[in-house]
Chain A
């Protein structure tokens, strides 16, 4: 398995009342598994407040929460789908709220790394069929098959 996913951080069809709770649930998995430091959640929340990471795609909205490398032990990508959407601010705007149903949380250990993965991830976001599959998936095995189908299973 690609070392970008080997901590197996993927949660499916979760419930959260708002983005803070959703970010907390997912960031907690990063901190528990040791891929991120215990300051990771604070870093994620601060970044989201100052510079939002919501992205409005063709048929749905996603978020790519991430923060400074100082909060990260090793590079990893985590995923969480939400049963009901939570409001995020759209990246590039000051205050435009968008209903996010999936988060791809990025723990990046160094700047300018992972370019190929990030470019691929942005391509995946523009692939409506694949995004519907990510929305529907409900177990890690099938999730990782999608990662492979998307070509995201690169080495870190």
Chain B
């Protein structure tokens, strides 16, 4: 199976996406998908140009930029709210079963 490419974005690419990145990787690894995905962090303004090359965009902010791949708003990851639903949705889009 091809390695899935995850684009993780926040406003500046320095703070909340870093936190979300750690939590996402921990959970995907826990679910047994280690090695089946890669994560790149970016700023929201880079989403239009970068998203065509990714399988999913996970955003910690409300992102009104044009996104060429499926997007999941994942602000809840920062404060541990509704995280299972967010992870489930991400796994569904990535076809991680």
- Chain A residues with CB under 8 Å of chain B are 47, 50-53, 55, 57, 64, 66-69, 91-94, 106, 108, 110-115, 118-119, 122, 125-126
**Chain A, residue nearest B43 (CB):** A68
B93: interface (CB < 8 Å): no
CB proximity of A37 to chain B, nearest CB, Å: 15
In the bound assembly, the distance between CA atoms of A62 and B18 in angstroms comes to 19
List 15 interface pairs A-B (beta carbons < 8 Å), by A numbering.
A51-B11, A51-B12, A51-B44, A53-B11, A55-B78, A64-B15, A68-B12, A91-B61, A91-B75, A106-B15, A111-B18, A112-B41, A115-B18, A122-B79, A126-B80
B64 to chain A, nearest CB (A): 7
Contact residues, B1-19 vs A (CB, 8 A): 10-16, 18-19
- Is the contact region of chain B dominated by helix, strand, or loop, or is it mixed? loop
B residues contacting the other copy or chain, number (CB 8 A): 22
| Interface residue B22 (Cβ < 8 Å from any Cβ of A) | yes
Determine which of A51, A92, A94, A115 lies in contact with B19 in the assembled complex, contact meaning CB atoms within 8 Å.
Answer: A115
A69 to B41, CA, bound (A): 15
B16 neighbours in A (Cβ, 8 Å): 64, 91, 118
Partner of A108, one of B15, B60, B61: B15
Q: How far is the CA of A66 from the CA of B13 in the complex (A)?
A: 11
> Hey, which bits of chain B sit against chain A, CB under 8 A?
10-16, 18-19, 22, 41, 44, 60-62, 64, 73, 75-76, 78-80
A66 to B18 Cα, complex, angstroms: 13
Could you tell me the distance between the alpha carbons of A118 and B19 in the complex, rounded to whole angstroms? Answer: 7
Contact B18 A118 (CB under 8 A): yes
Residues of A near B78 (CB, < 8 A) are 55, 91, 122
Chain B's closest residue to A89 (CB) is B62
Contact residues in B for A69 (Cβ distance below 8 Å): 12, 14
Count chain A CB atoms within 10 A of each CB in B14, B41, B60 and give the residue with the most.
Answer: B14
Instruction: Point out the residues of chain B lying under 8 angstroms from A67, CB to CB.
Output: 12
- CB contacts (< 8 Å) of A51 on chain B: these are 10-12, 44, 61-62
Contact with B11, one of A47, A57, A93, A114 (Cβ below 8 angstroms): A47
Contacts known (A122-B79, A125-B79); A92 close to B11, Cβ less than 8 A: no
